[in-house]
Amino acid sequence: MWQRPTIPSPTTEPVSLEQAKRQCRVFHDDDDAYLGELISVARSHVEKYCGALFAERAVDLVADDWSDLSVLPVVPAGDVTAVTYTDADGAEQTIGEGVYELVDGGLRLLRGQNWPAKQFGSRITVSASVGRVPDPTVRHAMLLLISDMYERREPEPSSARSTLDDLLANHREYA
């Protein structure tokens, strides 16, 4: 079973301040900090809505057993940088890249390879780069959300379905 991952904030956002200002028709710098916050809020909302990360970041994912690695708990995974575990003798070990491959959001053993014996009760840590640059539809949904939050600045009754739902529906990673 996977431990609940801690997902750090990304170092760069998928929507730039310039793009947000253009969307909101802002021609001054007075609201730059506020727009920066809205960019972060919009990305976070879209990531939660879609169940996928749309800004690249490094994470450490912790699992209880080798069988857990067949499906990583965060999508999309772009690159696995290390898989570490405690062996049966209590020593920290790192598995070489020639043992597994990243396929369909999980780690799969290469032909002829086996997962090594680990110490009872120890955890397996997968260090990976996760997230992807969103396609234009997702980026546009973020921009619509940013401009809506900037213009209204107060809650508004929502309808049953919104443009945001329509734009993001095909990008959801979970049911």
Q: Hey, what domains does the chain have and what are their CATH numbers?
A: 17-54+133-171 (1.10.3230), 57-130 (no CATH)
Would you state the pLDDT for residue 161? 64
Contacts of 11 (CB under 8 A, 6+ apart): 57
Would you state the pLDDT for residue 152? 85
CB 138 within 8 A of CB 168: yes
- State mean pLDDT over 83-110: 92
Residues 77 and 102: their CA atoms lie apart, in Å, by 8
Would you state the pLDDT for residue 175? 41
Q: Is the pLDDT of residue 14 over 80?
A: yes
Kindly report the average pLDDT of the chain as a whole number.
Answer: 90
CB 174 within 8 A of CB 51: yes
This prediction has a pTM of 0.78
Half-sphere exposure of 8 (CA within 13 A, CB side): 13
Phi first, then psi: what are they for 8, rounded to 5°?
A: -75, 160
Q: Is the pLDDT of residue 162 over 90?
A: no
